Amino acid sequence: MNAREFLVSQLEPVMPSTVKVEKYAREVDSPTRHSLLLVRIDDVAPHPSGIPGQRLYSFGLVLIPRKRATGSGDDELDNALEDVLHAIDEADDIVWTRAERGTYEDSTHPAYDVTVQVALTKEK
């Protein structure tokens, strides 16, 4: 199991039913049924512990609400963010380090980019 598969396997069971985890950060149409959480690997580094074979993966999770309109879209996004952060707090071995407000795909669609870290040991 690679790092992305591990993260998705940890996130899916703890996410609320209103948020759908997508394994890849890809261009998507506006969500219609659920808010979307797109998974992106940002970087990999040796774990600070210095233990051989341990790696620290940083992922970007892009949270996109169903609604685009100012006001209702913002409210849905803010509520979804709280649900997602709570779910991450409940997940084993995942730590979130920040959530930054922005837009999705250089548009006016509101979004959050949540940074999470996962420490994994290289499988042989």
pLDDT in tens, 62-114: 998 887 667 777 888 899 999 999 999 988 889 999 999 988 776 777 889 99
| Residue ranges with strand state E in 31-94 | 35-46, 54-64
Average pLDDT over residues 3-22: 91
pLDDT at site 122: 75
CATH assignment at residue 11 = 3.30.2000.30
> Number of folded domains in the chain?
1
CB of 59 closer than 8 Å to CB of 98 = no
- CB within 8 Å of 67: residues ≥ 6 apart: 73, 76
Q: Which domain holds residue 73?
A: 3-121
Residues in a beta bridge with 62: 38, 113
pTM: 0.86
Percent pLDDT > 70 in the chain is 90
pLDDT at site 33: 66
How many angstroms separate the CA atoms of 44 and 3, rounded? 10
